[in-house]
Amino acid sequence: MRQILELLERDAQLSHDTIATMTGLPVAQVSAAIAGWEASGAIRRYKAVVDWDAVDPDPTRETVTAFIDVSVAPARGVGFDDVATRIARFDEVRSVYLVSGSQDLRCTVTGPTIRAVSDFVSQKLSTIDRVRSTATHFVLKTYKRDGDAFDRPAEDHRLPVTP
């Protein structure tokens, strides 16, 4: 059954028939399993990974992404959970992870400009109780996201060979 989830994670557009063929399971069993995972919340949603630069290469239309490392003073009984949950509620925040290392949380944040992301950090994130420090890292170029490579193969400029 795990194989079904792995296939859907790679390509959410696979039909139940295709998944059944790939796994050797009956279509009815695949459909029932997927419906169960959707109902239980194991499958959160289906999404597309979009290369926005390929859609609209206009440099004036910009979305800035930053990884923000956050150091938090843990609280008795809740650790980091309450701060992480509060951070996750902001619209600018795309993800929040508890991580090992010198920082406690790693957040992915997006905004229309570097200034907007900076304002988010200084006015919203850093003012949360128990947030001790932040370190912001702006994304300069995306090479791979969610398992999809964003590099384009170089054009072949060789002359065709004729017999």
119 within some domain: yes
59 and 137 part of one domain = yes
Domain count, the chain: 2
Domain match, 101 and 26 both: no
Task: Evaluate whether residue 67 is within a structural domain.
Answer: yes
The verdict on 77 and 128 lying in the same domain is yes
- Contact between 105 and 87 (Cβ < 8 Å): yes
Confidence of residue 157 (pLDDT cuts 50, 70, 90): confident
Query: Please, where are the H alpha helices in the chain?
Result: 2-10, 16-23, 27-40, 52-55, 81-88, 114-119
Alpha-carbon gap, residue 129 to 72, rounded angstroms = 9
User: Is the separation of the CB atoms in 144 and 150 below 8 Å?
Assistant: yes
Percent of the chain predicted with pLDDT > 90: 67
| Cα angle: 93, vertex 136, 132; to 5 degrees | 85
Which domain range does residue 24 map to? Answer: 2-40
Residues 59, 18 share a domain? no
In a domain, 113, yes or no: yes
Q: Report which DSSP code applies to 86.
A: H
Question: Which of helix, strand or coil describes residue 127?
Answer: coil
Residue 71 included in any domain: yes
What is the tens place of the pLDDT at every residue in 23-64?
999 999 999 999 999 999 999 888 887 777 777 766 666 789
Whole-prediction pTM: 0.71
